[in-house]
Structure 1
Amino acid sequence: MSIQRKATVVSSLVASVLIVVKFIAGILSGSVAILASAIDSLLDLSASVFNLYAITKAEKPADLKFNYGRGKIESLAAVIEGSVILVSGIFILYQSLKKILLGSELARIDLSLYVMIFSLVLTTALVLYLSYVAKVSNNLVIKADALHYKTDILSNVAVLGALVLVKLTGFNIIDALFGIAIGLYVGYSAFGLLKEGVLVLLDRALDNDKQNAIKAILDSAKEVKSYHDLKTRQSGDVYFVEVHLVFNPEILLREAHAVADSIECKIQNLQGNWIVITHLDPYDDEGAQACSI
């Protein structure tokens, strides 16, 4: 089992534990903030289970049906998880506003405090683990999961703070006000995740650092007079590069091919997994009209 799949299994188990303890504490105390956090953990579990499926599928090699592999299912998973986070934020806002309008008192605050401290410690440990896996694997799904649980840390801190203030002041509306703040932040955090997943699905070019590293390699090839139609994109953890290389028309094909192979190897030696496709041109045909029949 890959480290990415192990990470999704761990996050699923953690989410399951948090769902149980938060729902029990939320029902016993009547805290809308804790119940909102429990709903968020339930959505976490759904997202983690889907992420496990997505990573399992994405790790399958390219075949005759999927020539470029299934890496983009990871970006699709990130979009779905971002949508889940957004829905949870809206639900938290709804429950908080409902409590402000209808009003209710909290009970068993001490139990709720212990539960939220436990949730905070467990979630923090999970985020540290997921962040490590995301850094090692550069996997968008794990990055999404890590971001998701980072928002949970902030929401847990907010819920904990709300409970402490309610215990000290007796003002139960504080619970709902903190719930509104949590809902707004969770909804805001979802947009960045949705944007990243959608841009990868739309074949956004690689970032400037990666493109500059590729261009430096191309510029260092003395046999290449110029290059054009440089295209880059990402699918899962694989970076794709296409480029047209312009050679002197008198160069032998095997010599030009050897130069192209050297360029491809240098790009593939950059950090990450790379697939490089080069096209050899005897003259610069950039901007030339497409072929017609």
Structure 2
Amino acid sequence: MSKQKRLVLLSLLTGLGLMIIKFVAYFLTASNAIFTDAAESIVNVIASSFAFYSIYLAAQPKDNNHPYGHGKVEFFSVFLEGGLIFIAGSIILVKGFYNIFFPSTLSNLEEGIGLVSVTALINFVIGFYIMKRGRALGSLTLEADGKHLQVDAYSTIGLVVGLILMKLTGLKWIDIAISFALGSFILYNGYKLLRQSVGGLMDESDVDLVKEVVQVLQENRHTDWIDIHNLRVQRYGNELHVDCHLTLPNYYSLTKVHDEISILDKIVNTKMSIETEFFIHADPCLPECCSYCQVKDCPIRSKEFTVEIEWQVENVTANRKHFLS
């Protein structure tokens, strides 16, 4: 079993166990706030179940029908998780409104507080571990799953503080107020996951990822690489797909062009924390490139070198050579 699958299985089993504990706490106390927390745990179990399948599917090799692999299923997994969180938040708010007019009788608060406090601690530790490992493995599904567990832990901590306050003051309306606050918090986090997944499914550019690629190129550039432009970066699961135009001296042989492209490809794959597939279009240099070309002893130079152009997101992603900027 792969590392990703083991981590998702850990999340699934943890979520299932904590869900049972939270519902026990709810039946002991009849607390609307604890029901809120228990309802979100159902989402954790369903989302982790689908995450397990999506990790399996994303790991499948490329085929004729999926030449870029199956990694985009992770965006769908994040979409499902965000949607379920959003639905859970909506249900929690509806139940909160219901209990304004039909309040429930609370009991055994000490036992309920103790049980959900334990679940908060376990959720935070497991969520932090899964999210950290997900980033290291380049898995959006694991990152989302770990973040969801941490969000669950934060909401449970808020719930415990509110229940303790209610116990001390005797103000029963605090229970409903907590459910409204947590329901709104859960809705917001569901929206953020939905936004992230839709952006990924529509190939929205990841600005931080593009910056990382450009920084690697700038720090490891060769004098032969006159400019790089029309750079595009897309993420498919735990792989990156990068394409760009690389300007090289126009007198280079096809073999030399191939060697330079291979060097660039190797550098990016070595320096980036995620496997990268490069598609590079080689452009011949033009006389206008001479002013910023640093090739020594160039036999066709028509202008002196005058300025070094630093590769930044703005000029590397533009679909034009740098002298046209």
Aligned to 2:53: 53
For residues 239 and 84 of structure 1, the distance between their equivalents in structure 2, rounded to whole angstroms, comes to: 28
1:244-263 equivalent positions in 2, closer than 5 A? 244-263=245-264
For residues 48 and 116 of structure 2, the distance between their equivalents in structure 1, rounded to whole angstroms, comes to: 21
For residues 117 and 287 of structure 1, the distance between their equivalents in structure 2, rounded to whole angstroms, comes to: 57
Aligned to 1:153: 153
Aligned to 1:291: none
Given residue 268 of structure 2, which amino acid in structure 1 is its aligned partner? I
For residues 227 and 82 of structure 2, the distance between their equivalents in structure 1, rounded to whole angstroms, comes to: 42
For residues 225 and 153 of structure 2, the distance between their equivalents in structure 1, rounded to whole angstroms, comes to: 52
What residue ranges of structure 2 are gaps of 5+ in the alignment? 287-318
For residues 281 and 166 of structure 1, the distance between their equivalents in structure 2, rounded to whole angstroms, comes to: 70
Aligned to 2:228: 227
Aligned to 1:124: 124
Aligned to 1:20: 20
The TM-score normalised by the length of structure 1 is 0.91
Aligned to 1:11: 11
- Deviations along 1:233-258, one digit per CA (max 9) or x if unpaired, are 11111111111222333221111111
Secondary structure of the structure 2 residue equivalent to 1:269: helix
For residues 151 and 183 of structure 1, the distance between their equivalents in structure 2, rounded to whole angstroms, comes to: 12
For residues 29 and 116 of structure 1, the distance between their equivalents in structure 2, rounded to whole angstroms, comes to: 11
For residues 228 and 183 of structure 2, the distance between their equivalents in structure 1, rounded to whole angstroms, comes to: 50
Q: CA deviation at 1:214?
A: 4.6
Number of equivalenced pairs: 286
Worse-matched range after superposition: 164-173 or 46-55: 164-173
Aligned to 2:279: 277
Secondary structure of the structure 2 residue equivalent to 1:182: helix
Secondary structure of the structure 1 residue equivalent to 2:66: coil
For residues 145 and 157 of structure 2, the distance between their equivalents in structure 1, rounded to whole angstroms, comes to: 19
When residues 143 and 126 of structure 1 are mapped into structure 2, their CA distance, relative to the original with a 3 A threshold, is: same
Larger Rg: 2
Given residue 98 of structure 1, which amino acid in structure 2 is its aligned partner? Y
Is the CA contact (8 Å cut-off) linking 1:71 and 1:235 kept in structure 2? yes
Q: CA deviation at 1:204?
A: 2.4
Secondary structure of the structure 2 residue equivalent to 1:68: coil
1:139 aligns with 2:115: no
C-alpha RMSD of matched pairs (Å): 1.9
Q: CA deviation at 1:87?
A: 1.1
Secondary structure of the structure 2 residue equivalent to 1:251: coil
Q: CA deviation at 1:138?
A: 2.5
For residues 76 and 119 of structure 1, the distance between their equivalents in structure 2, rounded to whole angstroms, comes to: 28
Q: CA deviation at 1:283?
A: 5.0
Which of 198, 214, 221 is the equivalent residue of 1:212? 214
Is the CA contact (8 Å cut-off) linking 2:230 and 2:320 kept in structure 1? no
Is the CA contact (8 Å cut-off) linking 1:246 and 1:283 kept in structure 2? yes
1:172-191 equivalent positions in 2, closer than 5 A? 172-191=172-191
Is the CA contact (8 Å cut-off) linking 2:246 and 2:282 kept in structure 1? yes
Worse-matched range after superposition: 246-255 or 72-81: 246-255
Worse-matched range after superposition: 160-169 or 272-281: 160-169
Aligned to 1:114: 114
What residue ranges of structure 1 are gaps of 5+ in the alignment? 289-293
Q: CA deviation at 1:44?
A: 0.6
- Deviations along 1:77-98, one digit per CA (max 9) or x if unpaired, are 0111111111111111111121
When residues 229 and 10 of structure 1 are mapped into structure 2, their CA distance, relative to the original with a 3 A threshold, is: same
Worse-matched range after superposition: 232-241 or 221-230: 221-230
For residues 267 and 8 of structure 1, the distance between their equivalents in structure 2, rounded to whole angstroms, comes to: 29
1:199 aligns with 2:199: yes
